A and B are shown apart, each in its own frame.
Chain A
Amino acid sequence: MEQWRMNRVMSFGISDVALECVMGYIDDPRDREAVSLVCKKWYHIDAISRKHITIAICYSTSPGRLRRRFPRLESLKIKGKPRAAMFNLTPEDWGGYAGPWVGEIADTFNCLKALHFRRMIVKDADIGVLVKARGHMLQALKLDKCSGFSTDGLLLVARSCRCLRTLFLEESSVTENDGEWLHELAVNNSVLETLNFYMTELRISPQDLELLARNCRSLISLKISDCDVSDLVGFFRTATALEEFGGGSFNDQAGEINRYERVRFPPRLCCLGLLYMGMNEMHIIFPFAASLKKLDLQYTFLSTEDHCQLIQRCPNLEILEVRNVIGDRGLEVVAQTCKKLRRLRIERGDDEQGLEDEHGRVSQIGLSTLAQGCLELEYLAVYVSDITNAALESIGTFSKNLSDFRLVLLDREERITELPLDNGVRALLRGCTKIRRFGFYLRPGGLSDMGLGYIGQNSSNIRYMLLGNVGESDLGLLQFSRGCPNLQKLELRSCCFSERALALAVLQLPSLRYLWVHGYKASPTGSDLMDMARPFWNIEFIPPRQCIASHEFEDRRGGVESPAQILAYYSLSGRRTDYPESVIPLYPPA
Chain B
Amino acid sequence: MERKNSFRGIQGAISRINPELLRSVITSGTAAKGGPEARSPPGAAAFRHATAPLPVMTSAFRSGSKGTAPLTIFYNGTVAVFDLPQDKAETILKLAEKGNVGGVVEASDPTSASGHQEDLLVKLNGELLPIARKKSLERFFAKRKERA
A-B complex is real: yes
Interface membership of A493, Cβ < 8 A: yes
Instruction: Tell yes or no: B15 within 8 A of A by CB.
Output: no
Q: Are A418 and B128 within 8 A (Cβ)?
A: no
Q: How distant is the Cα of A459 from the Cα of B131 in the complex, in angstroms?
A: 24
Establish whether residues A444 and B124, one from each chain, have CB atoms under 8 Å apart when the complex forms: yes
* B137 CB–A CB distance under 8 Å: yes
**Would you call B144 and A445 a contact (CB within 8 A)?**
no
Select which of A171, A352, A444, A563 is within 8 A of B120 by beta carbon. Answer: A444
Query: Do B7 and A411 touch (CB < 8 A)?
Result: yes
Complex Cα distance, B118 from A445, in Å, reads: 8
Contact partner, A494, options B3, B12, B127, B142, Cβ 8 Å? B127
Shortest distance in angstroms between A441's beta carbon and chain B's nearest beta carbon? 7
Contact (Cβ within 8 A) B113 A418? yes
Contact A473 B62 (CB under 8 A): yes
List A contacts of B118 (CB < 8 A): 445
Beta-carbon contact of B141 and A88 below 8 Å: no
Tell me, yes or no, whether B11 is within 8 Å of chain A by CB: yes
B1-30 interface bits toward A, Cβ cutoff 8 Å, 1 = contact, 0 = none: 001100110011000000000000000000
Complex Cα spacing A301 to B108, Å: 36
Are A415 and B128 CB-contacts (below 8 A) given A87-B134, A347-B134? no
Q: Which of A445, A493, A553 sits near B116, CB closer than 8 Å?
A: A445
**Cβ < 8 Å to A, chain B residues 106-121:** 108-109, 111-113, 116-120
What is the number of residues of chain B that contact chain A, defined by CB distance less than 8 Å? 45
Q: Is the CB of A414 within 8 A of B129?
A: no
- CB pair B135 A87 closer than 8 Å: yes
What is the distance, in angstroms, from B109's C-beta to the closest C-beta of chain A? 6
**Chain B contacts for A323, CB-based, 8 A:** 137
Task: Please state if A449 and B60 are interface contacts (CB–CB under 8 Å).
Answer: yes
B132 within 8 A of A: yes
In the complex, the answer to whether B129 meets A519 with C-beta atoms within 8 Å is yes
Most buried by A among B3, B11, B136, B138: B136
A584 at the interface (CB under 8 A from B): no
Q: Are B144 and A301 in contact (CB under 8 A)?
A: yes
Q: Does A412 belong to the interface (CB within 8 Å)?
A: yes
User: A411 and B138: CB pair below 8 A?
Assistant: no
In contact, A418 and B112 (Cβ under 8 angstroms): yes
Q: Which residue of A lies closest to B136 (CB)?
A: A199
CA gap between A448 and B60 in the complex, in Å: 10
Q: Which of A419, A448, A550 contacts B117 (CB 8 A)?
A: A419
Please pick, from B123, B124, B130, B134, the residue contacting A552 in the complex, using a CB distance under 8 A. B130
In whole angstroms, how far apart are the Cα atoms of A519 and B131 in the complex? 12
Name the residue among B4, B124, B135 with the largest chain A CB count within 10 angstroms: B135
Not counting A443-B128, A561-B11, a sample of 8 additional A-B residue pairs whose C-beta atoms are within 8 angstroms of each other reads A86-B136, A348-B133, A414-B42, A420-B113, A448-B116, A472-B60, A472-B119, A519-B128
User: 4 nearest interchain CB pairs?
Assistant: A444-B123, A473-B60, A87-B132, A494-B129
Measuring CB to CB, which residues of chain B are less than 8 angstroms from any residue of chain A? 3-4, 7-8, 11-12, 39, 42, 58, 60, 62, 108-109, 111-113, 116-120, 122-124, 127-145, 147-148
Complex A-B: 15 CB contacts under 8 Å: A88-B135, A88-B138, A323-B137, A348-B137, A352-B141, A414-B3, A419-B116, A420-B113, A445-B117, A445-B119, A469-B123, A472-B58, A494-B129, A550-B130, A561-B12
